[in-house]
A and B are shown apart, each in its own frame.
Chain A
Amino acid sequence: MSPTNNPEPRAASVLKARNLAKAFGSNKVLRDIDIDIRRGQVVALIGPSGSGKTTVLRSLNGLEVPDGGTVTFGGTGTNGDTSGGLSIDFGSKVGKKDIAALRDRSAMVFQHYNLFPHMTVLKNIIEGPVQVQKRPKAEAIAEAERLLERVGLADKRDAYPFELSGGQQQRVGIVRALALKPQLLLFDEPTSALDPELVGDVLGVIKELAEEGWTMVIVTHELAFAQHVADEVIFMDGGVVVERGPAAEVLRAPRQERTKLFVKRLQHDV
């Protein structure tokens, strides 16, 4: 399951986003957001609610379409993917094909898991590979079983989502994303809906993926986890990037006043 790449200081660029802008009516939720992600890098997006961090994440997967800005994906992905580069200018007309191409390159793990309730765990996982990517079913099943084994849910393969705990559902959500073999994994507050005692399992899985070299963007409120796993932390507020840098710097010694306040408040809550 692990991509063959490792995080290196000057690894190839996976994603470059420039000047992403988005408004809902008169509410400007994103203003000129730039993001660079290199292969194997883990980026944590933090910030108060309403800061725009989830919108950034969703834009990268085409679940929101920005009003302006560009997104460029590098040419080669995991597993020998040679699908070529992708460049989308949201300022001009964006077609279904562009959005589809964007979604090909990344996969989202949702806060509320969003598993398909009418499918078993196994079917949830192989749905994308078989129906969309047209991979052979036997191969997709074997891969799904291997991934389930990895996250300790091999025995749940034929269970329906409602039979699983939140933590188990989220691990299935992660496996469903992995099975697509995306270049980029996106996590939208993956532990926010979980009971505290279930958070550890899910964070453990994400940490292992980071160590294996998966490229990830994680929107999270778990600052300790971000510091532990992320290479870079981006702090957003009011639709702009307030501060960014190595995790330890931004979280331990923030330079901006707003970052200091935010970090302090969250650490008090813990």
Chain B
Amino acid sequence: MNWDLIWSSFGPLITGAVTGTIPLTLASFAFGLILALVVALMRLSSNWLLSGIGRFYVSVIRGTPLLVQLFVIFFGLPSIGIRLDPWPSAIIAFSLNVGGYAAEIIRAAILSVPKGQWEAGHTIGMSRPQTLVRIILPQAARVSVPPLSNTFISLVKDTSLASLILVTELFRNAQQIAAFSQEFMALYLQAALVYWVICLVLSTAQSAVERRLDRYVAH
């Protein structure tokens, strides 16, 4: 074992996490959540066309592998004249993917808020959108934090797939050092370790968020 090499590899791996994995995750999750909210509202809409489109979208995203979605966008789209760089391709693919999964979470969370809360909003004169934003979504947020955290943590790990479309991130750096040094076991375990640490930090953050959102609930 080349301990010097192993030790000095943490630098590029952490750099890859900070400049690749983490921004890719944050951007994709942010766009994905916005998309998910829109799709959730479409699915809850009484307009059959909107809800049908929402249902179709969720079905396609959940029914196809993320890697295939990523390849369609990066390698497939150029054949119809749409050429995207690795980063935008990755962000689009991951956002669409998060959008599909999180839409179902948000939809279920909105439905879990008792009907009486809508009525209370209406009786104080609020419109439906106003009630949604001020009364329903804050309560739905509490319900959806644990499952959304799962989606978020999955996303952190899924971004490693972006290495396959040449995005420079944690795992691609690990692959390159491994190929060059032939220390496959060490480098891939190191990469695993860095992912694990990131996810540990996120789990802690999740607990903090849940505690904060639970402050108005009886324990």
Residue numbers of A with Cβ under 8 A of B are 61-63, 96, 100, 103-104, 107-108, 110, 112, 114-119, 127-128, 131-133, 160-163, 176-177, 180
> A118 near B216 (CB under 8 angstroms)?
yes
* Sample of 12 A–B contacts (CB below 8 Å): A62-B122, A63-B123, A100-B125, A107-B123, A112-B116, A114-B116, A127-B134, A132-B126, A133-B125, A162-B216, A176-B124, A177-B123
> A110 near B216 (CB under 8 angstroms)?
no
> B119 near A63 (CB under 8 angstroms)?
yes
- Whole-angstrom CA separation of A179 from B126 in the bound complex: 14
Is B15 interfacial (CB 8 A cutoff)?
no
Is B209 interfacial (CB 8 A cutoff)?
no
Provide the main secondary structure of the chain B interface: helix
List the 4 shortest-distance A-B pairs measured between CB atoms, nearest first. A128-B124, A114-B120, A132-B125, A114-B116
Which of A112, A118, A127 has the most B CB atoms < 10 Å from its CB? A118
Task: Type the 1/0 row for B26-66, where 1 means its CB is closer than 8 Å to any CB of A.
Answer: 00000000000000000000000000000000000000000
Q: How far is the CB of A96 from chain B (nearest CB, A)?
A: 7
Residue numbers of B with Cβ under 8 A of A are 114, 116-117, 119-120, 122-127, 130, 134-135, 138-139, 142, 215-218
- Whole-angstrom CA separation of A162 from B116 in the bound complex: 16
Q: How far is the CB of B103 from chain A (nearest CB, A)?
A: 23
Q: Please give, as numbers and ranges, the residues of chain B lying within 8 Å of A116 by CB-CB distance.
A: 117, 120, 135
- Whole-angstrom CA separation of A107 from B119 in the bound complex: 11
Q: How far is the CB of B52 from chain A (nearest CB, A)?
A: 24
> A180 near B124 (CB under 8 angstroms)?
yes
Q: Please give, as numbers and ranges, the residues of chain B lying within 8 Å of A163 by CB-CB distance.
A: 218
- Whole-angstrom CA separation of A162 from B157 in the bound complex: 39
**With A117-B139, A131-B134: A110-B120 Cβ-Cβ less than 8 Å:** yes
List the A residue with the shortest CB-CB distance to B134: A131
Q: Please give, as numbers and ranges, the residues of chain B lying within 8 Å of A180 by CB-CB distance.
A: 124-125
- Whole-angstrom CA separation of A128 from B125 in the bound complex: 7
> B122 near A131 (CB under 8 angstroms)?
no
**With A62-B122, A103-B122, A118-B138: A110-B116 Cβ-Cβ less than 8 Å:** yes
> A117 near B216 (CB under 8 angstroms)?
yes
List the B residue with the shortest CB-CB distance to A179: B124
List the B residue with the shortest CB-CB distance to A111: B116
- Whole-angstrom CA separation of A114 from B217 in the bound complex: 14
Q: Please give, as numbers and ranges, the residues of chain A lying within 8 Å of B218 by CB-CB distance.
A: 162-163
- Whole-angstrom CA separation of A6 from B119 in the bound complex: 30
- Whole-angstrom CA separation of A115 from B124 in the bound complex: 11
List the A residue with the shortest CB-CB distance to B124: A128
List the B residue with the shortest CB-CB distance to A180: B124
> A107 near B124 (CB under 8 angstroms)?
yes
Q: Please give, as numbers and ranges, the residues of chain A lying within 8 Å of B139 by CB-CB distance.
A: 117-118
> B124 near A110 (CB under 8 angstroms)?
no
Contact of B127 among A96, A133, A160 (CB under 8 A): A96
Q: Please give, as numbers and ranges, the residues of chain B lying within 8 Å of A119 by CB-CB distance.
A: 216
- Whole-angstrom CA separation of A116 from B118 in the bound complex: 10
Q: Please give, as numbers and ranges, the residues of chain B lying within 8 Å of A100 by CB-CB distance.
A: 125, 127
- Whole-angstrom CA separation of A128 from B218 in the bound complex: 25
> A103 near B123 (CB under 8 angstroms)?
yes
- In addition to A118-B138, A161-B216, 4 A-B residue pairs with Cβ atoms within 8 Å of each other are A61-B123, A96-B127, A162-B216, A180-B124
- Whole-angstrom CA separation of A63 from B117 in the bound complex: 12
Contact of B123 among A96, A108, A133 (CB under 8 A): A108
- Whole-angstrom CA separation of A142 from B134 in the bound complex: 22
Q: Please give, as numbers and ranges, the residues of chain B lying within 8 Å of A63 by CB-CB distance.
A: 119, 122-123
Q: Please give, as numbers and ranges, the residues of chain B lying within 8 Å of A128 by CB-CB distance.
A: 124-126
List the B residue with the shortest CB-CB distance to A116: B135
- Whole-angstrom CA separation of A116 from B134 in the bound complex: 10
Contact of A131 among B116, B120, B130, B138 (CB under 8 A): B130
Q: Please give, as numbers and ranges, the residues of chain A lying within 8 Å of B116 by CB-CB distance.
A: 110, 112, 114
- Whole-angstrom CA separation of A119 from B134 in the bound complex: 10
Q: Please give, as numbers and ranges, the residues of chain B lying within 8 Å of A108 by CB-CB distance.
A: 119, 123
> B217 near A131 (CB under 8 angstroms)?
no
> B123 near A160 (CB under 8 angstroms)?
no
